[in-house]
Amino acid sequence: MTSLTRLYKDLHAHPELAFEEHRTAAIVAERMTALGLQVIEGIGGTGVAAVLANGPGPTVWLRADMDGLPVHELTGLDYASTAIATTADGLETPVMHACGHDMHVTWLVGAMEQLAAHRDEFSGTIVAVFQPAEEVIAGAAAMVDDGLLTKVPHPDIVLGQHIGPLPAGLVSLTSGAMMAASDDISVVMHGRGGHGSTPQRTIDPVLAAASTVVRLQSVVSREVTPGELAVVTVGKLQAGTKSNIIPADAHLGVNVRSVDASTRERVLAAVERIVRAEAAASGMTTEPDVTLLASAPATMNDPDAAERLRSRFVDAFGDRAVIDYGTVSGSEDVSVLSSSAGVPLVYWFTGGADPVAFAAASAAGRAESDIPSNHSPYFAPVIEPTLQHGIDALVVAARTFLESPAG
């Protein structure tokens, strides 16, 4: 077993929630220090940056996120997570690397080791950015707000990759809009509680919340231009403690995905309008609380830089190994780093699924149901060739935007 395989299995078995990545950050800092790099810890809470300065030339940032998810792992792996943590809401939860950030960290560690070992082959500066709290779309902003741009050399470009349920050995690179913007909205509907046997004495927030959930499903189908990417999901609905007690309040968690700015504004306005209208229709005398908790912009790849990298990927991996999956409705906060620095971004997907299993599932028309995707409790990338291919992709990408050594 290689050192990087051991690292990956260790990280997978010990996931940490957003802004709690203390163990992961310490491991990363130790590995980067061992390479003789300048290491800055504690940026934005648990973020780590490592600087490989190698003569004159461009500065390239390579970014990996570190946090896990509140998911109970069901993969059955011998290195599966059994971690339990407490959420920001004070709830105890199992934790899993269900989005592959353990692989992202291992990729970046491996890439930095390889780049450091071959300094004679390029000129310029590489900054490895190990970012916390991507899952709550807050970590990139936290690092920027904590002075990341003043603590490490300013980038000329920001690069990164995300594991996905594609066959290992494939990369998917899209010019322009690659991933959607994300908005998380908290809704609290204020009713009047009472006994379940006398609903006429109450204002039932459960019924109002249920009606709101159903009505929100009309936003995309009736208020968004067909063909435009938009998603409205109610992922949280909490109310009450007992079947015969009508509670005073109901809580909803709403998530909106979009790419076009005008579509985003229209959908967000529609969500708030429907929430307030359903509250009024239920006779609520107190206005609902509608709070935008967090937002991430759409992930937009610089077209020129993306096409330059696509050519290099084709040279390195072959034409059939480089695809364009198109814009996806998932979201990222990596573009906060590039936009804050005012530089181009190129971000891509690297496959992590067993190629044989993927081919069989595709042939049966069952790839989407049989190949676990990100955030699934069964998400388990095949370690090889995923690990080495991801390292190679980062190295190729970094070298694409660095200079050849003089002489």
Q: Residues 115-174: pLDDT tens digits? A: 999 999 999 999 999 999 999 999 999 999 999 999 999 999 999 999 999 999 999 999
Calpha distance 193→211 (Å, rounded): 18
Instruction: Give the residue among 20, 330, 22, 36 at the shortest CA–CA distance from 172.
Output: 330
Give me the sign of the Cα torsion angle 99, 159, 175, 122.
negative
Instruction: Give the residue among 64, 66, 60 at the shortest CA–CA distance from 127.
Output: 60
Q: Residues 25-73: pLDDT tens digits? A: 999 999 999 999 999 999 999 999 999 999 999 999 999 999 999 999 9
Q: Residues 264-309: pLDDT tens digits? A: 999 999 999 999 999 999 999 999 999 999 999 999 999 999 999 9
pLDDT band at 380 (very low <50, low <70, confident <90, very high): very high
What pLDDT, on the 0 to 100 scale, is given for residue 407? 45
Q: Residues 206-246: pLDDT tens digits? A: 999 999 999 999 999 999 999 999 999 999 999 999 999 99
Calpha distance 206→192 (Å, rounded): 11
| Strands 47-54 vs 38-43: parallel, antiparallel or unpaired | antiparallel
The residues, ordered by sequence, that sit 6+ positions from 352 with a Cβ below 8 Å of its Cβ are: 100, 103, 163, 164, 165, 166, 168, 381, 382, 386
In the predicted model, is pLDDT for residue 92 greater than 60? yes
Q: Residues 45-54: pLDDT tens digits? A: 999 999 999 9
What pLDDT, on the 0 to 100 scale, is given for residue 88? 82
HSE of 304 in the Cβ direction (CA atoms, 13 Å)? 4
- Answer for the pair 250, 206: CB distance below 8 angstroms, yes or no: yes
Annotated active-site residue in 135, 183, 333, 354: 135
Spell out the domains of the chain, with CATH numbers in brackets.
Answer: 3-180+298-400 (3.40.630.10), 182-295 (3.30.70.360)
**Does residue 249 carry a catalytic annotation?**
no
**Does residue 65 carry a catalytic annotation?**
yes
What pLDDT, on the 0 to 100 scale, is given for residue 405? 75
In the predicted model, is pLDDT for residue 372 greater than 60? yes
Annotated active-site residue in 16, 20, 21, 65: 65
Helix segments in 64-130, DSSP class H: 101-117
> For the chain, what's the residue count?
407
- Rounded mean pLDDT of the chain? 96
Instruction: Give the residue among 364, 6, 361 at the shortest CA–CA distance from 165.
Output: 361
- Answer for the pair 64, 163: CB distance below 8 angstroms, yes or no: no
What pLDDT, on the 0 to 100 scale, is given for residue 247? 98
Q: Residues 183-199: pLDDT tens digits? A: 999 999 999 999 999 99
In the predicted model, is pLDDT for residue 370 greater than 60? yes
pLDDT band at 404 (very low <50, low <70, confident <90, very high): confident
